[in-house]
Structure 1
Amino acid sequence: MSWVSNIEKGIRDTLLVPPYKDLVLHIEYMDSKRNHSAEHYARIKDLLKSKFDTIDLSLILSSDNNAFDFLVRNRDELFPEVPVVFCGVNNFSNSQLDGVSDFTGVAEIMSSRDTVAEILHQLPDTKHIYVINDYLKTGRAWEATLRRNLAPFGGSIDLEYNENLSIEQLRDKIQSMKKGSVVLLGVYFSDRDGVYITYEKLGSLLTQNSPVPVYCLLRFNLRDGVVGGKVISGYHQGVMMSEVARRILAGENAGEIPVAKVGSNVFMYDWQALDKYGIPVDRLPEESVVLNEPFSFYNEYLYLVWSTIVVFVAMVSLVLVLGKNIVTLRKVRSELQHSELKYRSIFDNAQEGIYQTSIEGRVLAVNDAFAAIFGYASREEVVDTLDNVATKLYHNESDREIFLEALRTEGRLSGFEVKMKRKNGEVVWITMNARKTQDQDGNVIFEGSVVDITSRKHNELRIIQSEKMMSVGGLAAGMAHEINNPLAVIISSVQNLQRRLTRETSRNVKIAEECGVPYSAIMEYIERSSCSKLMTGMYEAGMRAATIVRGMLSFSRKSDSEFVPHDLGDLMRSALSLVVNDYDFRRNYDFRKIKIVDDFDAEDLTVACDGTEIQQVFLNLLKNGAEAMGEKKYHEGEVPCFVLRGYRLGDLAVMEIEDNGPGMDEEVRNRIMEPFFTTKSVNRGTGLGLSISYFIVTDRHHGVMEVFSEPGKGTRFSVKLPLYES
């Protein structure tokens, strides 16, 4: 909205000057003209609380009624003790500040009474004035104020206030008016059908071919046939609010500064509209500003006369300073050339990728850093190749729409994090800044910068996973120790019961006879009542629980084993030799039917590690991958396959295990290495294998373990360990 833009311009022209030129402005648009539900305001409150929780604010500037009311209700919770300076508040009264502190500002006082008085002076035959406002909150406030201000005219003219009509109905209403009627525009942003219109466009819609004059109370309505009036200026509202803000920043108490109720309104008219409706300029107030007034012959003649005099005087002066000007011109030209070289060097050598694109998505210009980020050989290749960034650069085309919408509404975009594609199809995370501007021909273009934050994103995920595993490791240790003692008692008790009830020892026979029961009868009872099976089941369940406890202890405690040099390729071959003949028809997998492609012999991948533990990691990954592939139905001619890769990456040795199984969605991928999380059916896994492997790689060996997977596209595990240094 130009109203808000003009307020912002007033703030920047008045507030952001010495000694406050380095102030940082955080600008938040509530969009409450289009969205004014309680849920919308609640979401705004939550957003502001999240964004500014750690930011120390010195002052809050507020524009218009909705923002003012929101701050009156929520300032003390969101921004405790931060002073507020407001502007543009309609229908303001001092009672609105009862119960709140450190609020002051500039009330938006409309000059409706002065405007109507001038209408009756300029058009004395006026009998009927039709007042237009919308039915949003601001529009209702304006109508209430207009009714109070214009009440004294009620006896001399007919004042009519519009009903909640659509734009088309308002146009029809105005088109049907007869001579002696006048339209007075208030504020109008949305009609009853929810059609939103810019304030500037409203005047054009309503005044086009209007048979009667249209006056206004706001500066931005003064266009396309609107006559004018004593108007409110958003720019001057911003200027007055900034002057109050400077006083507060200089040390004054906001609560002691009275609210300014005398605005900077001015009589302003459009000459073309005055001419259309036959209103003489001499009937306007003396201080009036007349826009679009054509030059008269007299004025043009005066200009020529004075120009001639000035030219003669200037010629004498120019003769004296001509030599100096030539020297200055040469100096300026040299400085311009130097400036162009400097900024060209900044553009070419910047570490951030810098770009310009057309609004349709064609890349117009980039620097070398941009080409490198997206894997192109040169910036010329980028310009020749990227004729549609939505399809060739964005990973999700919908993100381009978000980008365009932000620039359409706000004109700029900052810190936009998005997935994009490199030339080879690799997905990278990018943070983007952009703004809408124009080229030298006046065409709208986008320009900004991009930074590759892929590593940062991966590091964030690793940190989150590491913190999660550390906390779960402590919990696992405590649980294992607490469970271990009673579990040992249960298992030993079951073993004692089996020895005393199912073994025909002399001691057992003697005790049975002392009790008057033949031992053979006891044995028969145990068999017929299936007690033996029950004890066996208890023992097996206890041993299974003991296995889980051992896994929890292994997950949580550090080992004292000694690290020695091992080649990751040798450890992988050892793991393969253990599982190559493994099969399980119940789980529908058979290693003998899995194709294995190995590519880890090309380089020396020696690391200092516990060979048994790293081999255990490879075994877990291979068996899990084999079981996953056993659950997938392959097309004809397609077989289960492992691709094993080993290579160096800086000072790291990397071993990758990739399968062509069913893959995982994002939710499973994010939890796959958590303890006790498993996708297998009951009794087919403890959920500890991958979590223990993750612990071995990251905590024990200070390495990195990552998983990459998409549904239907298989899974790739990456194990990275520091290379051995002798």
Structure 2
Amino acid sequence: MKYMRTLSGIVMGVLLLLLSGSVSVGTEGENLEEIRHVLLLNSYDQRMTWVADIVRGVEEVLQPDKNNLDLHIENMDTKVFHSPEYYRQFFEYLKVKYANIHLSLILSSDNNAFDFLRKYKGVLFPDVPVSFCGVNDFHPNQLEGQNDFTGVAEIFSARKTVDLALSLHPETTELYVINDYLITGRAWSNNIEKDLKGISPKVHIRHSENVSISELMQEISNLPPTALVLFGVYFSDRDGRYYTYEKIGAMLSASSNVPVYCLLEFNIGKGVVGGSVISGLYQGREMAETGLKILNGVAPADIPVKMKGSNRFIFDYIQLERFGINEISLPAESYIINKPYSSYEEYKVQFWVVIVFILTLLATVLFLCINMVKRIRAEAALRDSEERFRQLANASWEAVLIHEKGVLSHANEMFFEMFGYTPEELAGEHIVSVILAKESVGEVQNRIENSLTSSYEAVGRRKNGTTFPIEVHVREVTIQGRDVRMSAIRDLTERKIMEARIAQSEKMEAIGTLAGGIAHDFNNILSAIMGYSELSLSQLEGNEKVRYNIGEVLRAGHRAKDLVLQILTFARKSKEEKRPVQASLIIKEALKLLRASLPSSIEIRNSLYSDSYVLSDTTQIHQIMMNLCTNAGKAMGDGGVLEIELSEVELDSVLITSMHLDVEPGRFLRLTVKDSGVGIPEELQVKIFDPFFTTRSKSQGTGLGLSVVHGIVKDCRGAITVESEVGKGSVFTVYLPTIEPDVDTRATVADELLPTGNESIMFVDDEPAIVDMAEKVLTNLGYTVSGYTSSSEALLAFARNSEKYDLVITDMTMPHMNGDRFARELLALKADIPIIICTGFSEQITEEEALKMGISSYIMKPVVMKTLAITVRNALGKI
């Protein structure tokens, strides 16, 4: 036994000596090897499964930590942001961020990043080789003059997928191909059509139309049992609604009663049968393997672009079972997900627990041996590590600092640049109270005292006293045996501005949706009010008082109609149209709103001396008043006097020059808004009309109000001036050129001679009051009228006796069958029937589209009697 123990000790000593020697060489080589920087530029957001798979494939192949690589990942997110200005700003962003970073390799995924690098790499990263993947419609001529580009093209296997699908479903008579109508979707449609050329003549290939997602789902659900679906790419529908590829795949598959095949891997498992699919993981791996060759010294020009081989057959076992597809019929190399476990699968956890336990024991022994060697070399490596950290920290675009209990120990150059201090000024300082605004000091101090290291937002303060939003990422580390904190600080100013703009955009979209609904219902109500008023005036003789009263109702209806149009214009639901506007009427309406919104302690005085007209838009005049008066109210706080004066003035060239106005000589409407508020400092008066400039906090204003007013005034060929003194208030004066208004043709119908007729008219509207009113109005004009409140009943009546009717008038928005579909059914029965569509508001069809499909006229509610009479006569005259 003694000799056995001795022999065992000798063997163990030799083993440790061998391990020590091998580890020593590897560790020393690793420490001496220079870190190489690799940039991965993704076209889309990394949250997309496709991009996430590419990144995973790249990391699996490159193994940055093992190969001493620093992998930088930038996501362009061009599915959402793709304007020229965005690309320009992204170019500047990369230029600044990587100015001091020497890249050894660039990896590029998908077309937008590929095209961006082809255009800008020569300026941003000259002589840096590129390996790409995911490029649709790749052609070798795209690399002319680009000798340092190579990679793997994204070529889908539509023909392989469809050939297999047809062999699995020999009864197929129709193939329905789905792609969206964005650039990528159209390109896929064209390539699929080319790839499927010459396929079985008994199979009819049909591509999806540019419709809403609900219409597309309805189309899929109505496919016959002998149809198949081939799903390509779909990111946005006709109405601009965006979806992730995974979500849209699941939605469309759920709507289908027939098998759905696909060309992209991440759609499988969401109701799709499968296919020969493009895999983001395999695209990323192929690209990274090419990149490794380049890093190992192979020139990109000597590596041909890989055109095939990165696709594989993948199927969903659940869908195979659902449609009775036998696994034996699938290609031998197929991979099947969701397959029931075998006996091995049932016990593989226990099996691998044992294996892992054994491997863990072996790894523990190996780890202990390696640690013994590493401890000997730790001190020498520490100096190299500190220098490497300093270089990396200074290259970062984030502020990086090391502190112990809030006292600054080390910081990179970006930290001192961001906060405006020098290293000497902050040496040994307790930086919490120095670089943070007062409202953030307490919270951050609490985090330090309680060892909280989660990321958080705070308010930073520069040396000059200005504050700005920041994001802090904290990590506890041990340096030379001491527990310290490493913090990375990011300036959030640009991100906060972008978030505010997006939030404002979403608010405007919500307002637009609300405005559309209000317009439709309110115009229906106005149709009845104005129609019955006109009908009463046409039938009422004598009794001028009653006629006057009804006339006032009618005039109020016209004002309400204009108000609805104003709401739609403000919400961008109708086109802005300049026309003669009597400013005094709009100002009076605005004053009513202001009185309700301003504090009662603010006295409003108005002097409106002019009823002249200007060429503008009612919404614009309203915006001028509301923005100027709201700013005045905020300047006065809880009390003061707000004076509004409207008058006229003649401006000649001498006055214009002396007043420094940029207008042409002539007669002008002068709007003066005067407040008794705090006033504006002289040095700020030249900036107040700049977009986003404001002296108030974010909760009190966006800095857009006065810039909007300035833009409206300039658009109307006018001018705006400001006079202000601190403590004595401000006076804003707006000059708008006056015009002579057109003769008002909106007189009461009773005073005009209206065209009449004796034809037979069908009138359809889901509002009984409107149908009743229209029957009476048209009957008074001599016509025979058949009224219906149901489009389905009206269509049945027309089908029974289409020759009875000379004209059809229909509402646009109705239950069961909308006006455009109703009109198509009528034209199918009688191609020459004249049709008039009336609508309170509709986004489903424009006037231009209505006229193209054969509609005679397209008129907006509420329709006055004169307009209805003339439109009917014109439509009948076209027969």
TM-score range normalised by the length of the shorter chain: 0.3 to 0.5
**TM-score when normalising by structure 2:** 0.39
Name the larger-Rg structure.
1
**TM-score when normalising by structure 1:** 0.46
